[in-house]
Structure formats: C-alpha cells, structure tokens
Amino acid sequence: MVVGEPIHWAECAAKAAQSKKASEVVIINVKPTLVILDYFIVATADNALQFNAVIEAVEDALRENCGLKPIGREGVNSVSWVLLDYGDIVVHVFNPTTRDFYRLETLYNDAEQIKYDN
C-alpha cells in the first residue's frame, strides 16, 4: 500500500540519501515544468561503496516507509550516475564530475528547490 504524497516520498528519499553521507542533496519541484513527474531528488556520492549505500538506503526507505518500489533503475552498475524512477519522483545520484557536467539544478533554476545540508 502506497503511503503519502509525492513531496513526502521526495523528503523520505532525500533523508535516506543524506543518512549515507550523500552530499549536496536537493529536492527540485519540477511539477510546473514536467507534466510526467513532480520531483527530482539529486545527490552526490563520491565512490562505489557510497553509491551502493545511498541507492540501497533510498530504495529501503521508500519501500518501508512509503510502500514504493522503483518502476525503473538505470545505471545501477555505474559510479557516475544512477537514476531511480518512482513515477512521481525520480532520484538521481551522481559522482561530483557528472553532476557538474549535467547541472540539473541550473536547468531547473526557476523551480522551487529544497536543500538538505549534512
């Protein structure tokens, strides 16, 4: 059973990423711009171990607290960019270089952004 609203899911994912020391965790409200989803959660992980820990923590938290399972997982064997698609929210975990290259925050500069500081 799915529990809560998309903002609750986004906050749950952000807190889970932060719990594994992901840096620069931010929630971006893309609902006004993209009709297919509500929020991006963006986080940075520095190495393969941290990537795996962040992904596992996000998936566990969303499953246990919100009743959600990803409908898509991309780049799971990568340490540059992993995407977890939950329909209304999408979680992006980047390494620092890839995050700098894509700069999702600047693409959605006008969107509301909630930053989670470590």
3-state secondary structure 67-112: CCCCCEEECCCCCCEEEEECCCEEEEEECHHHHHHHCHHHHCCCCC
- CA dist 79 and 82 (Å) reads 7
pLDDT beyond 80 at 86: yes
pTM of the model: 0.95
What is the predicted pLDDT for the residue at 68? 98
**Residue 117 clears pLDDT 80, i.e. is over it:** no
100 within some domain: yes
Structural domains counted in the chain: 1
CA distances from 39 to 53, 68, 90 (A): 22, 15, 6
Residue 111 in domain: no
Residue ranges making up the domain that contains 10: 6-106
Percentage of the chain lying above the pLDDT 90 cut: 86
In this structure, what CATH number is given to the domain that contains residue 74? 3.30.460.10
Please provide the average confidence, as pLDDT, over all residues in the chain.
94
Residue-wise pLDDT for 15-72, tens only, equals 999 999 999 999 999 999 998 999 999 999 999 999 999 999 999 999 999 999 999 9
- What is the tens place of the pLDDT at every residue in 52-67? 999 999 999 999 999 9
**What pLDDT shows up at residue 1?**
74
Residue 111 confidence (pLDDT): 92
